[in-house]
Amino acid sequence: MRRRVALIAFKLMAVLLVVAFFLSLLPERQAQAAWPHLNISPTSGPPGTEVSYSGSIGYARGGVGIGIRWASSSGVGYKTIDTTHTDNQGNFSGIFIVPNVPLGQYRVEAVSFATMPATYLGSRYFSVKQESEETLIFKRPEYGVLFDVHVLSTGEGLAVGESGTALYYDGRGWTRVWHKFTSYNLWAVHGTSPEDFWAVSSNAIYHYDGHGWRLSASGDGWRLRDICMLPSGEGWAVGKVILHYKNGSWNTEYTGKQLYSIDMLSATEGWAVGQNVLLHWNGSSWVEIEEVLPVAEHMAVDAVSANDVWVATAGTAMYHYDGQSWQPVPVHLAQPGIIRSIDMVSSQVG
């Protein structure tokens, strides 16, 4: 009897070992994560252009419309994303793959998003059940699209956008300071104190004194896109012209190629960039730099110092000036695009 029980136990153990062996050959499956509650504010970008992944949490949006959020408890493995899901306001399409993602160390943007019920890729297996998806409704903010923001070192800030929208940040929250002073898009804003903000539309410059807006200057064909003010009271606005503000009035210093961005270090040192043009302010005049950068569209400039200047372009590189020459700095984008803004804290951080 004992011999028979021992034989049965031996056979059972052998079966279990065989089963365990074949199970080990199956693709690894990642653990399923539960969904925490999430409130996401509307994000920027046109429909179907944004997907991000950071650590174990990912989300995407389709402009005004549907967004989808997913998660992985380990954050390691492949995420395969594919969908034809659309609605009347936004859509996602195509395939997006994030390979071998370390937890908390990956972020990516792409043009498509959704989750497949199950997908095999290499040796990793990722399965997403319906209960692990969360649909988010992205509503168009009542204030419309914002184009620029400037925050002071004191914590106050101002954001501007379409149809004359202006939002003031007091360090705790945003408040509209629209006041119907213009119906035109405001492309840029800059300020030196909570009582001294300036904004530009295509053909006008506006000043905010902490209580309300007033028209400071206007003209035909300016096509303004940026403005920079100094604590001393001087300032510059750029577009098809460069306008200089001094002693209470705006005067034209340059007319020519379309400019997109300006950054002034002082009344004697500054840079402006635009459509195949790079200009330097030497304190008395604007000088066009002959060393034309390979990419014709110079979208933004930021100067840390006279020997530390950065230019963002419509290509796959930024350019850095060290006081002697311009050198390319490669930018690794998830997809080809245009870098429209840059802000450097130092030569190493930005």
CA-to-CA distance for 145 and 140, rounded, in angstroms?
A: 8
Q: What is the DSSP letter of 275?
A: B
Q: How confident is the model at residue 215 (pLDDT cuts 50, 70, 90)?
A: very high
pLDDT tens digits along 288-322: 887 667 666 777 788 888 888 888 777 667 878 88
pLDDT, one tens digit per residue, over 110-140 is 222 333 222 222 222 222 322 233 333 333 4
Q: How confident is the model at residue 40 (pLDDT cuts 50, 70, 90)?
A: very low
The whole-angstrom separation of Cα 148 and Cα 22 is 58
> What pTM was computed for the model?
0.60
Provide CB contacts within 8 A for 39, sequence distance 6+. none
Rounded distance between C-alpha atoms, residue 45 and residue 52, angstroms: 12
Q: In this structure, which amino acid lies at residue 108? A: V
Domains of the chain, start order: 29-138 (no CATH), 146-330 (2.120.10.30)
**Helix, strand or coil for residue 184?**
coil
Please, which residues have CB within 8 angstroms of residue 22's CB and are 6 or more apart in sequence?
none
267/144: higher pLDDT? 267
pLDDT confidence of residue 345: 66
Q: Quick one: pLDDT at residue 269?
A: 92
Distances (CA, A) of 180 to 142, 144, 212, 226: 15, 14, 10, 21
DSSP string, 205-237: EEEE-SS-EEEEEE-TT----EEEE-TTS-EEE
